[in-house]
Amino acid sequence: MERPEESNGGETAAPVRRDFIRSRIDEDLASGRHRQVVTRFPPEPNGYLHIGHAKAICLNFTVAQEFGGRCHLRFDDTNPTKEEQEFVDNIEADIRWLGFEWGDHLYFASDYFERLYGFAVELIEKDKAYVDELDAEQMREYRGTLTSPGRESPYRNRPVAESLDLFRRMRAGDFPDGALVLRAKIDMASPNINLRDPVLYRIRRAHHHRTGDDWCIYPMYDYTHPLSDAIEGITHSLCTLEFEDHRPLYDWVLDNVTIDCHPQQIEFARLGLPYTVMSKRKLIDLVTGRHVRGWDDPRMPTLAGYRRRGYTPAAIRAFAEAIGVAKANSEVEVGLLEHHLREDLNQHAPRVMAVLAPLKVVLTNYPAGKVEEVEAINNPEKESDGSRRIPFSGELYIEREDFAEEPPKGWFRLSPGKEVRLKHGYYVRCDEVIKDAAGEITELRCTYDPESAGGTTPDRRKVKGTLHWVSASHAIPAEVRIYESLFAEAHPGERTGDYLDDLNPDSLRVLADARVEPSLAGAGAGSVFQFLRQGYFCVDPDSTPERPIFNRTVGLKDTWAKLQKRS
C-alpha cells in the first residue's frame, strides 16, 4: 500500500489525488461549466453521525477547500416524525470537532418547503405531476417489478385543474393522512423503478422540529434533494452509490421545473467496517435497547463514541484521506483506522505509567519512609514536552501479568530470583513470593540495587526486561475500561438474520483496581495518554477528582502496519 500523503490537519490543501470526483471537477472548471465549486453535506437529523458520515464530510469539505470553493451544511429534514433538535445540535458539534466549518452556509430543507410546494404546482400545471388516490398497497401492486413493467394509475390522466385543486386541498388539510399523494408523471414502464411515477408529496400530520404544524404535507427525499441542491447553487452533489439509480429522477426533477441551476450528482462507495453496524436504525436500536450506554458509548461507531474513546479528528481525517473514494463498495479494515490513530497519538500523547492490574512489590532494602523523585521524559517524540518527576518508594505496584512464578521459556519479565529494570527507576530482584491462604500471590519481596539509578549499573550488568510501576502510596486508584469490538462477527446478523445475536459479550471489560501515577491527578476529560507498554488511554467524562476513569483508546501494537510491510 502506498503511504498516504502526510496530513497536516487539513488547514491547507494537501497534495491532491486525482480520483474520479476531482477529475470530473477539473473538467467542469476547464470547460467553463463552473467557475466555483460548491458542495454540501446533507445529513438527516434522525441520529448521530458515524464514521461513514465522516468519510462523506471529509470528502465534501476537502474537495471544496482544495478547489477554493465552499461546502454547505444542509439538514435534510423532510421526515418530521423521526427528526429532533438534539440530533441537529450534535451533528453540528461533530462536524466542527472533525475540523470543518460551513460559515454562513447552514441550511435546512424545511426552509424551502414553500418553494418546493411552488415547484410542485408548476409540475402539475405542466401535466408532469398528478394527485393519486391509490392506497399504498395498490400503489405497490401497480408499480410492477424489476422484470415486469408497472401499470398506470386510473387517476394518472385526471385533468390538470382537478389535480391542482386536490393538491391545494391536501395542503389545506382537507384529507386524512395517507388518503392522497402527489406523484410525478414519468413512465410506468421504465426499467428504472425510481421513474415509475414516484411519490413527491404525502399527507402526514406531524409536528416538525422547525416548521411546527404549518404543514400537513411533506415532500419526499428524492424530490427535495435535487431542488435543495439547485436552490443553493450546489455544483457537485456527492452522494453514496445507492443513489446511482436515483440520478435519473434527480435530473428529471431539475429538467422539469423552472430553475437555472443543475448540479451534477456523482456517486461514491459507502464506507463499511467489519464488526460494526452503521445503519442509523440499528444504531438507534442499540441505544434505545440499552445494548450500549448511549450514543457516545466508546464502542459505538459514532463520532461521539470515537471522541469519548480518545480518537482524534486528525486521525479520522487521515483515515478518510487514505481510503480515498472509489466506485465499488468495499470494506476497510478497522486496523487501518487504528493505524492512523496511533500515528497521531504517538506524536502527541504524553507518556505516563499506570498499572492496570496491580501486584504489590516491597523493596526490603529500601530505607523505610524514604521517597525520592525520579525524572521521566514526557514524550520521546517531542522533546519540547519536557519531563516530570515521579515518586519512587519502597512499596510499589507492578502489573500482575509482569510476574510469573514459573516463567515460560523466553520470559524477560520478573520471576523468582530474576532481576528486571524498573523504568526511570532501579534494578530490582525478586527474593520471595508471598501468598494468601488461597494460594493467590499477594506480594513480592524484592531488593533493589541503589547503584542502578539511571538505568545501568557500574558493572554493566544486563537485564532483559523493563517494567512500568507506580509508587503504592502515591498512585491514584482508577478505573480502566477496556473495549473490544461491539460485535463478535465481522458481518453482524449475517448468520442468524438478527445482528443483535452477534453482540460481543466481552466488548467492555472493567478493571476497577488500576493505579495511575500521581501526575494524572486532575487530568481533564478527553485528554489522551500513552500508558507505557499498555496503549493509549483517554480520560472519560464519568471521572471524578477522586476516581479518574480511563477508556482504552487503542493498544500499542500496530498489526496493520506490520502486515502491510510483509506484503
Is 152 assigned a catalytic role? no
566 DSSP assignment: H
Burial of residue 302, with CB atoms counted within 10 A of its CB: 0-12 exposed, 13-18 middle, 19 or more buried: buried
What is the spatial distance between Cα 301 and Cα 52, in angstroms, rounded to a whole number? 9
Is 82 assigned a catalytic role? no
Q: How far is the CB of 185 from ligand ATP (least distance, A)?
A: 27
Size of the chain, expressed as the number of residues it contains: 567
Q: Which residue is at the shortest CB distance from ligand ATP?
A: 52
Is 185 annotated to bind a ligand? Reply is no
Is 76 annotated to bind a ligand? Reply is yes
What is the spatial distance between Cα 319 and Cα 92, in angstroms, rounded to a whole number? 21
DSSP 219-275: E-HHHHHHHHHHHTT-SEEEEEGGGGGGHHHHHHHHHHS--S--PEEEEEPPEE-TT
Q: How far is the CB of 407 from ligand ATP (least distance, A)?
A: 47
> What cell does 202 get?
404525502
Amino acid at 77: D
Catalytic residue among 115, 168, 210, 270, which?
Answer: 270
What is the spatial distance between Cα 346 and Cα 529, in angstroms, rounded to a whole number? 9
What is the spatial distance between Cα 408 and Cα 120, in angstroms, rounded to a whole number? 77
Burial of residue 367, with CB atoms counted within 10 A of its CB: 0-12 exposed, 13-18 middle, 19 or more buried: exposed
Which residue number, 327 or 370, has a Cβ lying nearer to ligand ATP? 327
Q: How far is the CB of 289 from ligand ATP (least distance, A)?
A: 17
Which residue number, 269 or 488, has a Cβ lying nearer to ligand ATP? 269
Catalytic residue among 70, 185, 196, 280, which?
Answer: 280
Which residue number, 10 or 42, has a Cβ lying nearer to ligand ATP? 42
What is the spatial distance between Cα 172 and Cα 193, in angstroms, rounded to a whole number? 31
Catalytic residue among 17, 44, 210, 232, which?
Answer: 44
| C-beta separation of 476 from 516 below 8 A | yes
Radius of gyration of the chain from its Cα atoms, rounded to whole angstroms: 31
321 DSSP assignment: H
Q: Which neighbouring-strand residues pair with 509? A: 482
Q: How many CB atoms lie within 10 A of CB 364?
A: 11
> What cell does 427 get?
534494578
Is 270 annotated to bind a ligand? Reply is yes
Which residue number, 305 or 350, has a Cβ lying nearer to ligand ATP? 305
- Residues 6 or more apart whose CB falls under 8 angstroms from that of 5 comprise 14, 15, 321
Q: How far is the CB of 334 from ligand ATP (least distance, A)?
A: 14
Is 452 annotated to bind a ligand? Reply is no
Q: Which neighbouring-strand residues pair with 218? A: 202
Which residue number, 171 or 225, has a Cβ lying nearer to ligand ATP? 225
Is 270 assigned a catalytic role? yes
The residues of the shown chain that bind ligand ATP, judged by CB under 6 A, are 42-44, 52-53, 55-56, 239-240, 270-271, 278-280
Is 218 annotated to bind a ligand? Reply is no
Which residue number, 56 or 349, has a Cβ lying nearer to ligand ATP? 56
Is 466 annotated to bind a ligand? Reply is no
Which residue number, 240 or 346, has a Cβ lying nearer to ligand ATP? 240
> What cell does 318 get?
487521515
Is 262 annotated to bind a ligand? Reply is no
Is 249 annotated to bind a ligand? Reply is no
Q: How far is the CB of 82 from ligand ATP (least distance, A)?
A: 9
Known binding residues are 44-46, 50-56, 76, 221, 240, 270-271, 278-280
Residue ranges at the known binding site for L-glutamine: 76, 221
Active site residues: 44, 270, 280
Residues comprising the binding site for ATP?
44-46, 50-56, 240, 270-271, 278-280
